[in-house]
Amino acid sequence: MSDLYARHKAVLPDWLALYYADPLEITHGEGRHVWDAAGKKYLDFFGGILTTMTAHALPEVTKAVSEQAGRIIHTSTLYLDRPMVELAERVAQLSGIPDARVFFTTSGTEANDTALLLATAYRQSNQILAMRNSYHGRSFSAVGITGNKGWSPTSLSPLQTLYVHGGVRTRGPYADLDDAGFISACVADLEDLLGHVRAPAALIAEPIQGVGGFTAPPDGLYAAFCEVLQKRGILWIADEVQTGWGRTGDHFWGWQAHGASGPPDMLTFAKGIGNGMSIGGVVARADVMNCLDSNSISTFGGSPVTMAAGNANLTYLLEHDLQGNARRVGGMLIERLRAIAVQHQGVREIRGRGLMIGVELVKPGTDEADPDAAAAVLEAAREEGLLIGKGGGHNTSVLRIAPPLSLTVAEAEEGAAILERALRSAP
């Protein structure tokens, strides 16, 4: 055990998860690569849990952070903050939500927590619809709407949560139906559920479930859900913490894949927009955002330094068409991984969109999740210089692949080759 690991265990919670039998200390990065304390170089296919969105040590972002820090680091939302206003203007326009208002937080958890506060206050209801296999953060309220028992340590909650079918296409009671039948069954289930309860405040849903293993329903499900919700005045919160900013390639926001008649009532975001800096936030219609009847502030949300980073990062993302790169390189990588999977009986499914890819592992010849194989592949990939993630609602048996959106074709091929060898070496 390293000295740093021993010190970590002595002062930090036992439930603070660490990857690898011998945990890794990352000391610096550049582009799509990072280095550990021993000087070993890794190709990063996880980006600090989908957070390093453009590149490590991106000069445009580090320069913006340095220059802003040299002027002033902190003021709070009690004062006018030019970088915050500038980023809010851009995010509001990109969201597609009419007459949008933006509130900045420091994380996706806090963003979802804020959206829940707004929805319950606006609708005067503490009932929330959430998806099975979902994950929305670590706060008390976010844990209470998380439909993944591995990340929900308590059933206690200030909210009454009702879980809906549909987040996982290839498992569950409707898995054998075709896409149209799947959507119809999920809508019928939602309508039946709503017939037995008082009107909920909102449905919160990830367009692609992140921690749940990059699972997704057929395109169009959430549009069909919205038709049901809108008739009853129930709000729709799109949790775009992992899917936003073009990561899925085909669309800038994950909700856009569903062909909805309009944008969600609220959209939450975080992770990639800061490229490692702590930024989260909520975009909502003005009437929803302004429904609170008391004062509030955010001490650290909208900090001048993080907002400067967000503005620089967003500019780079748009000017270099990283969404298009995610579509092109991600599409190639998915096809490459599917070709590899044909040779491995333990790979149940390769799924995803753009540079958000899941590799689900099962015990060969069965549909039973194989978390031990996932852990072994994670270790083998690290040994060969590739960092990936893992997740899934069925015992963490899904490898999660989400590199920075500037990934090159050569790097995608290099990572796929390493992953192929890691799959072969796993028991």
User: Could you state, in order of their start, the residue ranges of all structural domains in the chain?
Assistant: 3-54+322-425, 62-319
pLDDT above 80 (res 260): no
Structure tokens at 270: 């975080």
The DSSP result for 62-76, as a single string, is HHHHHHHHHH-S---
The reported pTM is: 0.95
CATH class as words, domain 3-54+322-425 = alpha beta
Q: Long-range contacts: 37-40, Cβ < 8 Å, 24+?
A: 37/4, 40/385
pLDDT grade, residue 154 (50/70/90)? Answer: confident
Residue 146 pLDDT: 92
Identify the helix (H) or strand (E) that includes residue 90.
Answer: helix 82-95
- pLDDT tens per residue across span 169-213: 999 999 999 999 999 999 999 999 999 999 999 999 999 999 999
Residue type, 297: I
User: Considering only CA atoms, which of 196, 194, 189 is closest in space to residue 172?
Assistant: 189
* Average pLDDT in the chain: 96
Q: Would the CA dihedral through 355, 317, 216, 220 be positive or negative?
A: negative
Asked whether 316 and 58 are in contact (CB, 8 A), the reply is: yes
Picking from 98-107, 221-230, 389-398, which range would have the lowest pLDDT averaged per residue? 389-398
Average pLDDT over residues 353-379: 96
Q: Residue written as tokens 């993302």?
A: 317
CATH architecture of 62-319: 3-Layer(aba) Sandwich (3.40)
pLDDT above 80 (res 256): yes
pLDDT above 80 (res 6): yes
Average pLDDT over residues 273-300: 96
